[in-house]
Amino acid sequence: MTEKMDVLRDVDEGAIRLARTLLRTARHAVIATLDPASGDPIATRVGFSTDHDGTPIILVSALAAHTPALLADPRCSLLVGELGKGDPLAHPRMTISAKAREIERGSPEYARIERRYLSHLPKSKLYASLGDFRFFRLEPDNAKLNGGFGRAYQLAASEWLSLNPANEELAAAEQSAIDHMNKDHAEAIALYARFYAKAADGNWRMTGIDADGFDLANGDDVLRIFFAEPLTSAKDMHMTLVRMAGEARAGLEPAQPSA
């Protein structure tokens, strides 16, 4: 009898960083649910964002087939990962097993999630206020990460979620910080994109901040920039953003010729 080869790699920092990047930069995903009438699986595309801790958030219409499916049976699976040129199976993707929990409309949690979702997906403002749309938070169990050929991992939710206690304070300060950065510090945002993400110049705007990093968007392009160390407070957020702007500015200055 031949031994079964273990194709899974040990989870390392590179795998965790990849998983978090896939989630934070995604604006859509494929969700699989179970039809309440037949029990057959249903797979469909949904808009996608994340809560501060990285938990997936979706906004769905009551008219969509997956909404009554989630209400009848909260078990679901989510596939996240952008396609690129060439073989689609060569690009990183992540499959998450989760249980859906509807967010109560009018609650503080709803207001926070709606604000964050619409910052990440501004075009959703056209229908987010309609009465038949609702938010679900997909509480994750585990995930399978495929980083490309020969790079398969299985991750517990605790390994890729951001369970930093500072996220609660950062969530309260997030919107004012984002508004301030976008209104008064567009130059710093451009520096972040160019230096830390090696991105081309564009109309980059900050869309989200959490303990592990922040997100920038320029039209359909989304960037994830990680902090060197996780934040510990809202004050730490301010100081870190100032320091990173200085580092980026210095790093992008042309080298001075020696005397």
pLDDT band at 115, cuts 50/70/90?
Answer: very high
What is the overall mean pLDDT for the chain?
93
End-to-end Cα separation, the chain, in angstroms: 72
- What would the mean pLDDT of 96-101 be, rounded to a whole number? 98
Looking at residue 2, its pLDDT comes to 43
Residues 141 and 180 in one domain: no
Residues 22 and 141 in one domain: yes
Task: Give the residue from 121, 144, 162 where a domain finishes.
Answer: 162
- What would the mean pLDDT of 35-48 be, rounded to a whole number? 95
pLDDT band at 255, cuts 50/70/90?
Answer: low
Residues 11 and 134 in one domain: yes
* 142-184 confidence digits (pLDDT tens): 999 998 877 899 999 999 999 999 999 999 999 999 999 999 9
CATH number of the domain encompassing residue 51:
2.30.110.10
Looking at residue 84, its pLDDT comes to 75
Looking at residue 90, its pLDDT comes to 76
Tell me the DSSP string of 145-156: EE-STT-EEEEE
Under a CB-based contact definition with an 8 Å cutoff, are residues 16 and 212 in contact?
Answer: no
Looking at residue 3, its pLDDT comes to 47
* 67-93 confidence digits (pLDDT tens): 999 999 999 999 999 877 778 787 899
Residues 152 and 24 in one domain: yes
Under a CB-based contact definition with an 8 Å cutoff, are residues 20 and 212 in contact?
Answer: yes
pLDDT at residue 257 is higher than 60: no
pLDDT at residue 1 is higher than 70: no
Tell me the DSSP string of 150-177: T-EEEEEHHHHS---THHHHHHHHHHHH
Residue 55 CB neighbours (<10 A)? 20
Under a CB-based contact definition with an 8 Å cutoff, are residues 224 and 20 in contact?
Answer: yes
Tell me the DSSP string of the chain: -PPPP--BPPP-HHHHHHHHHHHHH-SEEEEEEE-TTT--EEEEEEE-EE-TTS-EEEEEETTSTHHHHHHH--EEEEEE----SS-GGGS-EEEEEEEEEEPPTTSHHHHHHHHHHHHH-GGGHHHHTSTTEEEEEEEEEEEEEE-STT-EEEEEHHHHS---THHHHHHHHHHHHHHHHHHH-HHHHHHHHHHHS-PPSS--EEEEE-SSEEEEEETTEEEEEE-SS---SHHHHHHHHHHHHHHHHHHHSPPPPP-
* Those residues with Cβ within 8 angstroms of residue 225's Cβ, 6 or more apart along the chain or in another chain: 192, 193, 196, 197, 213, 214, 215, 216
- What would the mean pLDDT of 15-31 be, rounded to a whole number? 97
Task: Give the residue from 162, 178, 199 where a domain finishes.
Answer: 162
pLDDT at residue 4 is higher than 80: no
pLDDT at residue 50 is higher than 70: yes
What's this model's pTM, rounded to 2 decimal places? 0.91
Q: Of residues 6 and 242, which shows the higher confidence score?
A: 242
Residues 1 and 128 in one domain: yes
CATH number of the domain encompassing residue 206:
3.20.180.10
- What would the mean pLDDT of 185-200 be, rounded to a whole number? 97
183, part of any domain: yes
Looking at residue 87, its pLDDT comes to 80
Task: Give the residue from 135, 162, 189 where a domain finishes.
Answer: 162
Residues 153 and 200 in one domain: no
Its domain, for residue 15, covers 1-162
- What would the mean pLDDT of 27-34 be, rounded to a whole number? 97
257, part of any domain: no
What total of structural domains would you count in the chain? Answer: 2
79, part of any domain: yes
Residues 46 and 169 in one domain: no
Looking at residue 194, its pLDDT comes to 98
pLDDT band at 258, cuts 50/70/90?
Answer: low
259, part of any domain: no
